[in-house]
Amino acid sequence: MSKPIIGDAAGAGGFRKPTGEESRALRAELEDFNAQYSLVLDEGDLQAWPEFFTEDAFYSVTARENFDHDMPVGLVHCEGKGMLKDRAFAIQHTAMFAPRYLRHYITNTLAIGVSDDGAVVARANYMVLETLHDDPTTHIHQAGSYHDIFARGEDGALLLRRRICVYDSLIIPTALVFPV
């Protein structure tokens, strides 16, 4: 898998750096998108989760150490919306795990590349807090950043063509079954 498109590299793949005005207009769209995405995950509505992606979407959750060294291995690796649906179904119907609440906090949203057909390269930092039902304390489950490429749906709304969730923690959380 290629490295994320950032800064000067934003020219790759038909992307150019957005102007200040474009960047600020895109921020509002990206923040709306990410807030809706998180709401679905925070409320455990996994069936709705794949609808944030394009049909040919790529989704993965990978350690920063691997990502920085261009190692394609990931904790989660989905190619195509079908695999996302399978994953959501599996979690809801077959996975065994202790009951918990997850809550997403997404900050530092930034459009770093745009193309003439409306696609957007974006970044954001995410933090997932976890509260287990049998433990009173809320703790940091995962901290990392989204490396995203958005396309446009038929109605012009943003859809994820690629979301790589790059987490800082070096030990794989054994309980990571939910999407990030």
Number of chain positions touching a copy of itself (CB under 8 A) = 44
- Give the residue among 72, 52, 63, 79 at the shortest CA–CA distance from 151: 52
Distances (CA, A) of 49 to 15, 79, 82: 27, 15, 12
Q: Is 49 helix (H, G, I), strand (E, B) or coil?
A: helix
Single out the residue of 8, 70, 117, 136 in contact with a copy of itself (rule: CB under 8 A).
136
What residues contact 90, with CB distance under 8 A and at least 6 apart? none
Q: Is 104 left (phi over 0), alpha (psi -120 to 50) or beta?
A: beta
Q: Does residue 97 touch a copy of itself according to CB under 8 A?
A: no
Instruction: Identify which range of 53-61, 76-84, 87-95, 131-139 contacts a copy of itself by CB under 8 A.
Output: 131-139
Which parts of 6-45 interact with a copy of itself (CB under 8 A)? 20, 23-24, 27-29, 31-32, 34-36, 38-39, 42
Which tokens hold the place of 29?
């769209």
Q: Does residue 2 touch a copy of itself according to CB under 8 A?
A: no
Single out the residue of 14, 108, 153, 177 in contact with a copy of itself (rule: CB under 8 A).
108
Which parts of 50-89 interact with a copy of itself (CB under 8 A)? 64
Q: Is 138 helix (H, G, I), strand (E, B) or coil?
A: coil
Integer Cα distance of 174 and 92 in angstroms = 18
Q: Does residue 98 touch a copy of itself according to CB under 8 A?
A: no
Interacting residues toward a copy of itself by CB under 8 A: 20, 23-24, 27-29, 31-32, 34-36, 38-39, 42, 64, 101, 103-110, 123, 125, 127, 129, 131, 133, 136-140, 142-145, 157, 168-171
